[in-house]
Amino acid sequence: MRITILADERDKGERARDQKLDSSCGCLESPIGRGMHVKELGMDSRFAEVSVFQCRDCGRHWLRYFYEVEAFTRSGRWYLGCVTPEQFDGLTVENFKGVMEALDWYLYGGSYYDGLTGRTSGEINLNP
Q: What is the pLDDT of residues 97-126, one digit of tens each?
A: 999 999 999 999 999 999 999 999 999 999
CA–CA gap between residue 86 and residue 66 (Å, rounded)? 23
CA–CA gap between residue 19 and residue 1 (Å, rounded)? 29
Q: What is the pLDDT of residues 46-88, one digit of tens each?
A: 999 999 999 988 889 999 999 999 999 999 999 999 999 889 8
Query: What's at 8, amino acid-wise?
Result: D
Whether the CB-CB separation of 67 and 77 falls below 8 Å is answered with yes
Cβ neighbors of 120 (< 8 A, separation 6 or more) are: 105, 106, 108
Q: What mean pLDDT is predicted for residues 10-24?
A: 48
Compute and round to an integer the Cα radius of gyration of the chain: 14
Give the residue from 105, 97, 103 showing the smallest Cα distance to 126: 97
Query: What's at 89, amino acid-wise?
Result: D
